[in-house]
Chains A and B, each alone.
Chain A
């Protein structure tokens, strides 16, 4: 694959990854394998680029005061352990049924989100004792509605363990798994969609680094291939980030729904393909 093509694909992946909070891996891996790259190497290249997408986007979101750092730092404890386990599983085994399972999980999530697509953000009715102890609260200025949104996180006792699963998927498939992270923030912990998306971006960087360490130890990181991907995703992510802060929560959710559907169908098809291919 030429540098130019790899660079262009990566720009698109970075843009979509930042807009949805999912990272660019969901586009990169299928395309790289389409061009003949071994899936394990594609996963390794992708997960390095996910560090770049996440860090590039998160740097702007954090300075814009949308990301909730304490929510991110609490949940990272679970995602990094999951990512290490996931990457180790990838190196040791085949993944066809996990692809199908992952697709089913994403499509189930899509159905849940689709049913409430026209509803605005519904904050948690009350904050439980554990989430209050964790100081999971915050505020941010929403430029699209020109208001300061004040919120608190809830059900952290569910959110934490569920994030282990999101980290596992991230390490396993070399993606940010932002789809799952955003769902957990949004539906389980009652965070506003923009806070969900931006906090997901912060967590993804550390999660991807944990996964990368396993692939690096296995000798699967090719800097010559990773570098053009990193350059492309960073460019795309900075562009996507600038657009996100100007959109409403509803628009972000609609974009997220579309990407989630494509990702879910793609994962199932890839799993079926692997079984019968």
Chain B
């Protein structure tokens, strides 16, 4: 182990700051947005029917069909608690996906690190394939 008493700012490179900030804020934004949407759905449902239980399953669709169905409901302005519930789940599932997508772009176009561009592209490809499963 090597240890020094340097404050953290003096040992962090600009690269680490940028990459870690990007990943950290994608995850933070995704989780906070998801939590906010889920909280709105429960509060709205409580106000409407005084019951917090949703009877609802996602059946017969893959992730992208689920996202597409949710977006269609948003476009038709069919706003109701269940739509916010679906949006919360969708945003949560998109969060690690977007994190991997951003990593691919970062390694390819900012870092020019082809080794890690390849690694993260592989992860993105497998994730995309799995989200198309039905």
Residues of A within 8 A of B (CB): 3, 48, 51-52, 54-56, 58-60, 62-63, 65, 67, 69-70, 73-74, 76-77, 80-81, 84, 120-121, 123, 133-135, 139-141, 145-151, 192, 202, 205-206, 208-210, 212-214, 216-217, 219, 221-224, 226-228, 230-231, 234
Contact = CB atoms under 8 A, between A and B. Distances in A.
Interface in B84-134: 85-86, 88-89, 92-93, 95-97, 99-100, 103, 115-116, 119-120, 122-123, 126-127, 130-131, 133-134
A195 to B, nearest CB: 12
A231 B38 contact: yes
Contacts of B44: none
Contacts of B122: 77
Contacts of B3: 145, 147-150
B99 A205 contact: yes
B38 A206 contact: no
B39 A149 contact: no
Nearest to B128: A213
8 contacts: A70-B116, A76-B119, A147-B5, A149-B3, A205-B27, A213-B133, A216-B61, A222-B57
A60 B23 CA distance: 10
Contact of A73 (B38, B54, B57, B120): B120
Interface centre among A120, A121, A206, A216 (most CB of B within 10 A): A216
Contact of A139 (B11, B20, B34, B89): B11
A234 B88 CA distance: 13
A213 B23 contact: no
Interface residues of B, number: 64
A135 B107 CA distance: 13
Q: Identify whether the interface residues of A are mostly helix, strand, loop, or mixed.
A: helix
Given A205-B99, A213-B63, A230-B34, A52 B92 contact: yes
A234 B31 contact: yes
Given A205-B27, A206-B96, A224-B56, 6 more contacts: A145-B3, A206-B99, A209-B130, A210-B126, A213-B131, A228-B42
A69 B119 contact: no
A214 B99 CA distance: 20
Contact of A65 (B20, B34, B54, B61): B20
Given A52-B31, A230-B38, A141 B123 contact: no
B38 A227 contact: yes
B123 A80 contact: yes
B115 to A, nearest CB: 8
Interface in B54-91: 54-63, 66, 85-86, 88-89
A209 B127 contact: yes
A217 B96 contact: no
Given A70-B116, A73-B116, A230-B35, A221 B58 contact: yes
B31 to A, nearest CB: 5
